[in-house]
Amino acid sequence: MGDARHFHDLTTPFRMKRGGELHGARVAYETWGTLDAGRANAILILTGLSPSAHAASNAVDPTPGWWEDMIGPGRAFDTDRYFVICVNSLGSDKGSTSPASVDPATGEPYRLTFPELSLEDVANAAYEAVRDGLGIAQLACLVGCSMGGMSALAYMVLHPGSARTHISVDTAPQAQPFAIAIRSLQREAIRLDPNWREGHYGGDVWPDHGMSIARKLGVITYRSAMEWNGRFARIRLDADERDGNQPFGFEFQVESYLEGHARRFNRQFDPNAYLYLSRASDWFDVSEYGEGSIQRGLSRIAVERALVIGVSTDILFPLEQQETIAKGLEAAGADVEFVALDSPQGHDAFLVDIENYSRAIGGFLRSL
């Protein structure tokens, strides 16, 4: 299988919001569909914390992407009409420069010498790829999911006129204390793992235990109790599925489900990159651009139309926060469509409840 990623070299030095700068940094991105002559049909998708730029399969890389059923001819992101771009976040290790990358100044991986990362930096890096790499002056639509939704708000605040319309998916105008508490505990689990070694893991010494706890806690907050009542109830594992003679080992299906998620994640995502992106999510606060007011911060965003989607079962990015975004964009002059879904899958609904998300997003994009 091929590598469908393109790479865009960022301005050198690339100055970071909180100080520090990167030299020779780049971001990875993939595209689907064809950019029209006027360069006016581009959609940019900014991702959650862990996904790569491979949102969907394409000719070069036919493996399914993380939003496979949403992108393609006739799908919600209709590639017969739109040119779709997905950028791997700066700081993520899926092709973009991250704490796992080699610092050209030392020839060694950055690890914790990577400068403090904010979602504004993630947004600025994606903006450079779109403007300078692809020559697109204005996006037809900027889409942000989860953490990517916060990155998208930063993108639009920092680059007025960069997007004609916006789709906001299960995100937040600022991190609330419940989400901060969860992410802080995820970071702590990694930091307390003796194998983390203040970022100097490698080879066989890897903070697998910390990453496992972090991932499981993530999955618990990405889904919903309601979904699990129907899906797992109190079903036990068969004897041969249990973890041997481990004292206090797994016994219920829900425990095995979480273990499977952790195993698939471990060693697939750089622990230091996880820490940087997680902290960046805690730091984001659009009210910084509105003298402490979320609504004034959002008022700096000028898009013609917006679609704001949220899910009633999302405990990490609750529906009230989606309403806040919708109201702010509307007050700023956008024509806003607000969709509150009752999907049982919680925060992850946008990855699972393709029927409802397709209807909302496809309908919005067709109406443009």
Which residues contribute to the site for a second copy (CB under 8 A)? 112, 174-178, 180-182, 184-185, 187-189, 191-192, 194, 198-199, 209, 212-213, 216-217, 220, 224-225, 228-229, 231-234, 246-248, 250-255, 258, 275, 279, 282, 285, 315, 318
Number of helices (H) and strands (E) in the chain: give both, helices first: 11, 14
Residue 30 or 270 with smaller CB distance to a second copy: 270
Q: Which of 215, 269, 239 has the alpha carbon at shortest distance from 94?
A: 269
Shortest Cβ 317–a second copy spacing (Å)? 11
Q: Give the three-class secondary structure for 90.
A: coil
**What is the CA 355 to chain-centroid distance, rounded?**
20
Shortest Cβ 188–a second copy spacing (Å)? 7
Shortest Cβ 270–a second copy spacing (Å)? 14
- 3-state SS string over 31-86? EECCCCCCCCCEEEEECCCCCCCCCCCCCCCCCCCCCHHHEECCCCEECCCCEEEE
By CB atoms closer than 10 A (0-12, 13-18, 19+), residue 146 is: buried
Dihedrals phi, psi of 98, to nearest 5 degrees: -150, 180
Shortest Cβ 170–a second copy spacing (Å)? 15
Residue-level length of the chain: 368
Shortest Cβ 237–a second copy spacing (Å)? 12
Residue 241 or 251 with smaller CB distance to a second copy: 251
Q: Give the residue numbers annotated as catalytic, written as ranges.
A: 146, 314, 347
- 3-state SS string over 133-148? HCCCCCECEEEEECHH
Residue 217 or 302 with smaller CB distance to a second copy: 217
- Per DSSP, what are the bridge partners of residue 250? none
Beta-strand pair 83-87/141-145: unpaired
The residue type found at 9 is: D
Q: Is 215 annotated as a binding residue?
A: yes
Sign of CA dihedral 114, 116, 119, 124: negative
Shortest Cβ 290–a second copy spacing (Å)? 14
**Number of other CB atoms surrounding residue 359 within 10 Å:** 14
Q: Is 348 annotated as a binding residue?
A: yes
Kind plus residue range of the DSSP H or E element containing 229: helix 225-231
Distance CA 10, CA 8 (A): 6
Residue 8 or 17 with smaller CB distance to a second copy: 17
Residue 31 or 281 with smaller CB distance to a second copy: 281
**CA distances (Å), 274 to each of 60, 317, 367, in order?**
28, 19, 37
Residue 276 or 364 with smaller CB distance to a second copy: 276
Dihedrals phi, psi of 341, to nearest 5 degrees: -100, 155
Binding-site residue positions for substrate: 215, 348
Binding-site residue positions: 215, 348
